[in-house]
């Protein structure tokens, strides 16, 4: 089981709760499940960063769901491919690959596990806790989902957040 409580900052303060992060933005994507089934992180990440005016270098932590090893490798290759980014995503050039030293550094779904109902919360909590412990400011979460769908989220460390 897992739970994640989202609320306005004022509500958290009234309840005496200590926020860890702000949910700054998110978006959903979908693409053809025939040949792009698990590539939604490759589609969602560039759109999220463009929407928020950020670049790869602005992101301190990356938490990307790993359906399986080949899926992650395919997404990394797609992000760093001129052909894929131009022909499939309509970009003018390749987007580029994230800094892998910031990628799932506490382990991802392959090493920790993937209980379907809990993975999204685990991704959020890993990101929020990594931002605190690694003194980061911004974290991106992305996950593929059934039928060619996916999501990407931008978290920002809450000022004064602690690891407890």
For residue 39, pLDDT over 80 is answered with yes
pLDDT reported for residue 116 = 74
Residues in Cβ contact with 136 at an 8 Å cutoff, skipping those fewer than 6 apart: 60, 61, 130, 157
- Indicate whether 92 belongs to any domain: no
Pick from 98, 97, 125: which is nearest to 112 by CA?
125
Model pLDDT for residues 49-58, shown as the tens digit of each residue? 999 999 999 9
Residue 35 lies in a domain: yes
The two structure tokens encoding residue 121: 């919360």
- Residue 40, Ramachandran bin (φ over 0: left; ψ between -120 and 50: alpha; else beta): alpha
- 81 or 37, greater pLDDT: 81
Which candidate, 136, 128, 4, 114, places its Cα nearest to that of 63? 128
Is residue 116 in some structural domain? yes
Query: Is 9 a domain residue?
Result: no
Convert the pLDDT of each residue in 125-164 to its tens digit: 999 999 999 999 999 999 998 888 999 999 999 999 987 7
CATH number of the domain to which 110 belongs: 3.40.47.10
Task: Give me the number of domains the chain comprises.
Answer: 1
Report pLDDT for 35: 86
Confidence band of 112 (pLDDT split at 50, 70, 90): confident
Mean pLDDT over residues 47-66, rounded?
Answer: 97
114 inside domain: yes
Give the pLDDT confidence score for residue 133 in this predicted structure: 96
What's the domain range around 129?
A: 21-67+99-157
In a domain, 126, yes or no: yes
Is residue 162 in a domain? no
Residue 60, in any domain of the structure: yes
Q: Which SS3 state, helix, strand or coil, does residue 3 take?
A: coil
pLDDT cut 90: percent of the chain above it: 75
The residue-averaged pLDDT of 103-113 equals: 86
């Amino acid at each position: 089981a897992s739970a994640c409580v989202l609320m306005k900052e004022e509500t958290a303060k009234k309840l005496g709760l200590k926020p860890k992060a702000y949910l700054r933005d998110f978006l959903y994507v979908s693409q053809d499940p025939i040949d792009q089934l698990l590539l939604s992180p490759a589609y969602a990440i560039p759109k999220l960063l463009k929407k928020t005016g950020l670049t790869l270098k602005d992101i301190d932590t990356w938490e990307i769901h790993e359906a399986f090893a080949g899926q992650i490798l395919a997404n990394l290759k797609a992000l760093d491919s001129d052909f894929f980014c131009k022909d499939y995503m309509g970009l003018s050039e390749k987007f580029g690959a994230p800094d892998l030293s910031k990628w799932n550094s506490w382990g991802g779904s392959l090493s920790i596990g993937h209980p379907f109902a809990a993975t999204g919360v685990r991704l959020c909590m890993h990101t929020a806790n990594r931002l605190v412990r690694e003194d980061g400011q911004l974290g991106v979460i992305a996950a593929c989902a059934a039928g060619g769908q996916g999501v990407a989220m931008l978290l920002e460390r809450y000022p004064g957040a602690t690891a407890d």
